[in-house]
């Protein structure tokens, strides 16, 4: 198990599975993340609870 702060110091190529819960979003612009399979989810904090999926 590796802490999030340690990931940037690792020197090998590999994939990581990170499981977590978002407690709050403190930015005021939309952000997105890759979702399975081959989709991108976008969250807009100005439209609370709204996610957009593009594949």
Instruction: Name the strands in the sheet holding 39-43, side by side, starting at the edge strand that comes first in the sequence.
Output: 31-35, 39-43, 51-54
Mean of all residue pLDDT scores within the chain: 72
Query: What's residue 49's pLDDT?
Result: 62
**Is residue 50 over pLDDT 70?**
no
The stretch 41-53 carries a mean pLDDT of: 69
- Structural domain boundaries in the chain: 25-55
The stretch 7-26 carries a mean pLDDT of: 74
CB atoms within 10 A of CB 45: 15
Report whether 30 contacts 43 (CB < 8 A).
Answer: yes
**CA angle, 36 then 23 then 15, to 5°:** 35
């Amino acid at each position: 198990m590796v802490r999030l702060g340690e990931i940037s110091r690792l020197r090998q190529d590999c994939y990581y599975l990170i499981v977590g819960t978002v407690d709050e979003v403190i930015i005021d612009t939309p952000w997105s993340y890759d979702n399975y399979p081959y989709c991108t989810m976008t969250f807009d904090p100005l439209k609370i609870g709204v996610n957009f999926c593009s594949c």
